[in-house]
Amino acid sequence: MVSNNGDVLVEAEIVGISLLPTIISGPAIKAGALRVILARHAPEPMPLYSGECSPSAPGEQGALFRRLPR
């Protein structure tokens, strides 16, 4: 399954086995809907970056933003 929506992936994870970041699946783990298995085989943590984009941004970012529906 491929999706760009974390909520959809968590719902799919509840009925099977998958590898998702805890930032996405954490609430379902805390609620008891999911449990962690093979914890000793977890991938190394990696940084998460966020940024802003506006129509005046240079290059591909600005071009992408200008194509988004408003």
Q: Output the pLDDT for position 49.
A: 62
Q: Output the pLDDT for position 24.
A: 83
Output Rg (C-alpha) for the chain, integer angstroms.
Answer: 17
Helix spans in the chain (H): 6-14, 22-31, 59-67
| Token output for 15 | 């009925």
Highest mean pLDDT among 1-5, 50-54, 62-66: 1-5
Q: Compute the average pLDDT of residues 17-22.
A: 80
Q: How far apart are CA 24 and CA 5, in angstroms?
A: 10
Q: Compute the average pLDDT of residues 2-14.
A: 80
pLDDT digits (tens, 9 = 90+) for 20-60: 888 888 898 999 988 888 888 888 887 766 666 666 666 77
Q: Output the pLDDT for position 8.
A: 82
Residue type, 15: V
